[in-house]
Structure 1
Amino acid sequence: MSNPENIVVTATTELFGKKDPTAVDRWFASDYTQHSALAADGPDALHQLVAGLGDDFRYDPARVIADGALVALHGTYYGFGPDPLVGFDIFRVDANGKLAEHWDALTPLVSGTVSGRSQTDGPAEVTELDKTEANRALVTEFAQKVLVGADYSVLTDYISTETYDQHNPEAADGLDGFGAAAATWASQGKNLVYKKVHKVIAEGDFVLLQSEGEFGDPAAYYDLFRVGGGKIVEHWDVIAPIPAELPHTNGLF
């Protein structure tokens, strides 16, 4: 099995579906590098984490985006704590077909969202593979000009004015919905500040950004966009605080 997507899906299904710690021995590199705030570095720490999962633990996958050696998962964890958590996970698969590196971000599952959409529902199948690079370029430029550059005057160059389905639990659909949510956050001292885009993972009509910035406090942004007709038409995200201390020295990014 040499396909990175198949490797990651198989490994995580064995880990989090079957709760089988021995999957670490089969699928993870001996120098596995951890960036999560939930686990220490190396395969032994992951082995211990999986071995400690309770009977109530489960993972509900929503979508998979594969881009070369990087594979991103979007889904919901139950039993990682008292409340369900929506998360993005990014894995890097090495040349030997082993999971060699991992990044993630988690946020509480919200039952009553402003848009009425859940944090994970919506299209899941990757389409328009021939437009991957065009969509990557569109979202990358949007990230630099609008998110990092904070030039909202060009917003409609990138986001559709006809359809913009929103899955952030505090924002309504459309550009007006996003604007209203941003104004509310600003009134709470939580301006959307993007300082650096660390990764752009693209496959077909889906593009995932992993970014660093501030949302009142230092924050990790994971923004998943779906592109249609040359414009962004749908958005899912996780905004997670960056802890002051991590259980390793690898950083969150």
Structure 2
Amino acid sequence: MRVFLFLGCLALFAFSSAGAIANSKPASLDAALANKALVVDFYQQVLFERNADAIDQFIGDTYIQHNPNLPDGKAALKALIKALPKPDKAVGKIVRAIAEGDLVVLHVNYYGWPGPQGGAVVDIFRVADHKIVEHWDVVQAVPAQSANDNTMF
């Protein structure tokens, strides 16, 4: 019985350690909450309201982009936002915002993009020195029909 409990504890430790994100650094709860507020403000002002002039307020001098359709650097982000039409109505809403250490994850419901029914987007940001310095995203169109009665949000 003791061997089983010991092995179970080792398995739990190994699983917990393997699941850690290498880029994430320990931070206080206050820092994580400040990071979350920064990213939510960025998303609202830059991505939803299409305010390219606000990018310098939120994005660091180094900006690593993991979306394969966009180059690194804030100049590329500025060009993208400037190329998008200014919305005359809401383009989406943040459904969930999660912060852990220097990472902030947003689960976003986009209206009318990337498909007619909209999209479910998960954006992950890394924050350093009060600036967003890295970004990953996963985009999925909301289908016209679902195999279940649950929403994507």
Q: TM-score, structure 2 length as denominator?
A: 0.72
**TM-superposed deviation, 1:248:** 1.4
**Relative contact order, CA 8 A, sep 6+: which one is greater?**
2
Please report the RMSD computed on the Cα atoms of aligned residues, expressed in angstroms: 2.6
Task: Name 1:238's counterpart in structure 2.
Answer: 138
> In the alignment, what sits opposite 1:124?
23
Q: Where does residue 32 of structure 1 map in the other structure?
A: none
What's the offset of the Cα at 1:158?
0.8
Deviation sequence 1:152-201 (CA, Å, 0-9, x none): 221111111x10001001111101233456688x6xxxxxx841110001
C-alpha separation in 2, matches of 1:153 and 1:179? 8
8 Å Cα contact 2:55/2:78 also seen in 1: no
Equivalent position SS for 2:77: helix
Following the alignment from structure 2 to structure 1, what is the Cα–Cα distance between the partners of residues 23 and 49? Answer: 30
Where structure 2 has 5 or more consecutive residues not aligned to the other structure, the ranges are 1-11, 85-89
Q: Distance in 2 between matches of 1:206 and 1:141?
A: 15
Task: State the one-letter code of the partner of 2:137.
Answer: D
In the alignment, is residue 248 of structure 1 matched against residue 148 of structure 2? yes
Runs of 4+ in 1 over 6 A off after TM superposition: none
Q: CA deviation at 1:151?
A: 1.9
Q: 2:52 touches 2:78 (CA, 8 Å); kept in 1?
A: no
Percent identical: 34
When normalised by structure 1's length, the TM-score is: 0.45
Q: Does 1:215 align with 2:110?
A: no
Indicate if the aligned counterparts of 1:129 and 1:203 stay in contact, CA closer than 8 A.
Answer: no
CA–CA distance in 1 between the matches of 2:107 and 2:142?
13
Cα offsets for 1:6-57 (capped at 9, x unmatched)? xxxx7xx7xxxxxxxxxxxxxxxxxxxxxxxxxxxxxxxxxxxxxxxxxxxx
Q: How many residues align?
A: 129
CA contact (8 A) 1:62 1:124 kept: no
State whether structure 2 residue 103 is matched by structure 1 residue 203. no
Q: What is the match of residue 168 of structure 1?
A: 67
Higher strand share: 1
Structure 1: unaligned runs, 5 residues or longer:
1-9, 14-60, 65-122, 187-192
In structure 2, give the amino acid aligned to 1:215.
Answer: W
